[in-house]
Structure 1
Amino acid sequence: MPPVVISIGLLVLSNVFMTFAWYAHLKELNHKPWIVAALVSWGIALFEYLLQVPANRIGYSQLSVGELKIIQEVITLSVFVPFSVMYLKEPLKLDYLWAGLCLVGAVFFMFRSRF
């Protein structure tokens, strides 16, 4: 499997963990002291790092740091929006579309030298 595909797959998985680490406590631990939420989130984030670090190392063999970062931002929004709507029961907003379109521009500018 190509390194870029492996890197993107690992980044998607790592982002799922990080999204839960950053936001699931708002729903699940909102009645607990913030320190409990922070420690639980930190524990979840460990798994994110166990995926994210190798993802970036593998991806860096084919991509620049800037390209890796923009890929990560696209993945972040792609994971966050369904999480927000389905898990946190937040309303789907048109603003997510506008944010996504801004990321399309970011992808264009970061990758245009490859085309």
Structure 2
Amino acid sequence: MSKYISTIGLLILSNAFMTLAWYGHLKFFNKEGGHASTPLWMIILLSWGLAFFEYCFQVPANRIGSSEMGGPFSLVQLKIIQEVITLIVFMIFSVTVFKNTQFTINHLIGFILLIGAVYFIFKA
């Protein structure tokens, strides 16, 4: 598997765990789910447990992808790839899990600007 695909695949997995750790408790430990009384410290520990798996994918992705380690991406390119993947994973998560997120013209404009950012970062 190429370093390009490995890096992007690992970043997608990393961001799936990150998004679940950061926002999953809002869906699964709320008043509707009957877990609203779960103590905050337990939610934090659960989120940290999920974040462990985020790092298990994030660190190898950065090492495989970094030009410092023989990979195809500069540090800035890795960061912009990660940010775009984060937003895509978050939007998919929020639409499928919360089902109350609606795409607006502002979202579309923001994504177009991100595509422009990717273009200019990779053009350098």
TM-score, length-normalised on structure 2? 0.86
The equivalent position to 2:120 in structure 1, one of 69, 84, 109, is 109
| Alignment-derived partner of residue 100 in structure 1 | 111
Cα deviation per residue 1:49-92 (whole Å; 9 max; x = unaligned)?
A: 00010000000021111000000011011111110011012222
CA distance in 2, matches of 1:27, 1:34: 14
Q: Is the aligned partner of 1:80 residue 2:90?
A: yes
| Divergent runs of 4+, >3 A | none
CA distance in 1, matches of 2:96, 2:72: 34
CA distance in 2, matches of 1:51, 1:79: 15
Counterpart mapping for 1:2-81 below 5 A? 2-30=2-30, 31=36, 32-60=38-66, 61-81=71-91
TM-score, length-normalised on structure 1? 0.92
Q: Is the aligned partner of 1:91 residue 2:101?
A: yes
- Cα offset, 1:105, TM superposition: 1.5
CA distance in 2, matches of 1:39, 1:88: 22
CA distance in 2, matches of 1:96, 1:42: 29
CA RMSD of aligned residues (A): 1.1
Aligned positions, number: 113
- Cα offset, 1:93, TM superposition: 2.2
CA distance in 1, matches of 2:58, 2:8: 10
Structure 2, unaligned stretches of length 5 or more?
Answer: 31-35
1:24 alignment partner, SS class: helix
